[in-house]
Copies of this chain bind each other. A is one copy, B any other.
């Protein structure tokens, strides 16, 4: 049911014995909380959440602007401090747009496919839904995920703030390859422009690599249902493992060419300022990454058993190992993956720990099937500098004080 190491029951039994489990025989105390055997709520068209469950994304301000100013707010982040498992609830998938969320009528929506191809096509959503489909569980990550910790660590940040711009869903749609065949193939094309129908007309140039040709999807559904407007309804591109802004939402146009189209999104916005002041273009892949989601920023722990839980993912493929350090990176132990790791998908890891009450730092590092190991912050900054805004994937340290307060830290 899971990867090695095994659950470590013996150690956990010992831990549980000190964890304040309310061990008791079946007596009056046991029965005090039995609810009345009364009829409950009737059938419904949709299962809503319990009134005892509070879940929402935190709309996020632009870099440097706190508290959130609605005018400058640019994205909503997934609340990983309150989620479990590996799949993200559909309505809590992170949200990032450049001109808000358009309200598109699928009956009127069209996809234009043209350029260096044998023929041009204008496709309706009915055309697209009638084509063969594939489904795949994979992560989507904003290239800005983690930018908060490039230069300094705001100790008030939660894991939702630091890592809430990545989510994992089952995506369903038409293989990109199928649409390329439909226009007669694109043998002389090496790049593809994808353009959205949003107010900002976000458009990106995508290199037609073997990997992208094989894995790209024109997605119209997430977690079994039509895309929601914030995620590109009725159609988006989905490119597993690559920075989220390439997976163009509200997709209205694919154009094939033999060079990058140099849209403003790749000349002005999504370039990466290097340590030497030069800008790097087309750094597309999301690197191996992980974060402990509990305990995490602004939580409090008590001495005794602590279950450490987090998520790991990589744009290179499957996660093969996650290690956790409870002494600030000095020593490491293998964590347990709680489900089979899927390629380019988030997977949850867990490790049981007994906190003795001394100040320390907890941190995770992931390794993917290409043997990429997530670097610590010092190594990451040595390589990248601190001018950049995107593709931050260094290890995340949470500092724990003697009082048990968990806080965001650089190491």
Query: Interface of A with B (CB < 8 Å)?
Result: 1-2, 7-9, 12-13, 16, 19-26, 29-30, 33-35, 37-53, 55-60, 70, 73-76, 83-93, 95, 97, 99-110, 112, 114, 119-124, 127, 130-137, 170-172, 175, 178, 181-182, 197-201, 214-215, 220-221, 223-226, 228-231, 233-234, 252, 305, 307, 309, 336, 338-339, 348, 350, 352
Contacts and interface: CB of A to CB of B under 8 A. Distances in A.
B44 A224 contact: no
Contacts of A40: 97, 99-103, 198-199, 229
Contacts of A56: 45-46
Q: Is the interface of A mostly helix, strand, loop or mixed?
A: loop
A84 B48 contact: no
Nearest to A351: B132
Nearest to A336: B132
Contact of A39 (B100, B110, B305): B100
Given A136-B1, A181-B13, A339-B136, A229 B43 contact: no
Contacts of A20: 127
A37 B199 contact: yes
A182 B17 CA distance: 9
Contacts of A130: 19, 305, 307
Contact of A44 (B43, B95, B99, B114): B95
Contacts of A252: 34
Contacts of A93: 47
Contact of A33 (B19, B110, B233): B110
B127 A21 contact: yes
Contacts of A223: 85, 87, 89-90, 223
A224 B45 contact: no
B13 A182 contact: yes
Contacts of A24: 120-122
A65 to B, nearest CB: 14
A311 B307 CA distance: 37
B224 A89 contact: yes
A228 B48 contact: yes
